[in-house]
Amino acid sequence: MTAVPRWLLRHRITIEPYLGTSAYGKQYGPAVADVHALVSETVKTVRNKEGREVISTAQIIAEPDLACPAESRITLPTGRRTTAITVAHHTAPGLPVPASTEVMCE
């Protein structure tokens, strides 16, 4: 499997992976800085994990092994903090297209 070439991932983001909810609210893992990504801050309508239509204001393409569960906190290259709505891992075994992870953000 070929991964998306790192030289195409021109931006750097920081991810705080969502761990779950406790009695004190949402819990996040340690921040992972300097993650290679390609960020597009464009408004799109997407469906969240419950199937409701929501607005995505940033889309991220990253390497296929990206650890970013839905609801993770993400700091974009502009410094804006956002939350992951959905995460999709794209693979195409046997085809000449690169594998990647796509994250839709609030």
pLDDT in tens, the chain (106 residues): 688 989 999 999 999 999 999 999 999 999 999 999 999 999 999 999 899 999 999 999 999 999 999 999 999 999 999 999 999 999 888 888 889 999 999 9
Q: Cβ(61)–Cβ(100) under 8 Å?
A: yes
Task: Give this prediction's pTM.
Answer: 0.91
Q: Pick from 100, 101, 99: which is nearest to 2 by CA?
A: 99
pLDDT value for 24: 92
Entry field: residues in the chain: 106
From residue 34, alpha-carbon distances to 1, 11, 60, 62 in Å are 24, 9, 14, 12
Specify the 3-state DSSP secondary structure of 8: helix
Give the pLDDT score at 95.
84
Q: Compute the distance between CA of residue 82 and CA of residue 91 in angstroms, rounded to an integer.
A: 26
